[in-house]
Amino acid sequence: MGLAVGSTMPDFRLRDQNGNWFDSKDHIGQRPIVLFFYPKDFTPGCTAEVCSFRDHFEDFTDAGAMVVGISSDSQRSHRYFARRHRLPFVLLSDPKKLVRRKFKVSNRFMSLLPGRETFVIDKTGCVVLSFEALQASGHVKHALKIIKKIQENESLSPEV
C-alpha cells in the first residue's frame, strides 16, 4: 500500500505527454488532485481505467479537481495513448519510477506488475485517499466520492 492517508504529497517534477514539465509544487493550494498510478499504456485493464477517468472527467472538474495519470511509459507512448483514447487529462512519464517510489506504490502479482493505486490530495497537499486494487474498476468511484466530500466541505466552510 502506498502513502498513508494524512501524509503530505511528495514533491516531484515529471514531463507530460506533450513534453511539458509538471511540478507538483505548482498545484498545491490550487485545487484537489486525483493522482492515479497505472501499469502500462494500451493494456486492457489500464485502458479501461484511464477511459473510466476520461468518462468521469467532467464530474471531477465540476467538483474542482485535477486528474493526473502516471506510468513508466515514455512521453511518446503517452501522447499516442492520450490521442487514441481522447484523454483530456495529463499523463506523466515516470520512466525511472522515482515518483512511484516516492508514493510507495509497490509491484504486485509476485512483483511482476507495477502497482495500480489512486491518491486524492487535497488543496493543502495532504493525502485524503489512498486506494489500491489490482483491478482497474473502483478507482474512479472511490476518488469521485472523496472529491465530492471535499467540495461539500468547502462549500459549507465560512468565507474568510
Q: 51-69: buried (b, 16+ CB within 10 Å) or exposed (e) per residue?
A: ebbbebbebbeebebbbbb
| Contact present, 11 and 43 (Cβ < 8 Å) | no
Within 8 A by CB and 6+ apart from 26, the residues are none
Within 8 A by CB and 6+ apart from 139, the residues are 36, 49, 52, 53, 116, 118, 131, 133
Lookup: cell for 80: 499516442
Between the alpha carbon of residue 79 and those of residues 29, 32, 38, 136, 145, the distances in Å are 28, 24, 16, 21, 29
Check 3, 14, 35, 46 and give the catalytic one. Answer: 46
Q: Is 51 marked active-site?
A: no
User: What amino acid positions are annotated as catalytic residues?
Assistant: 46
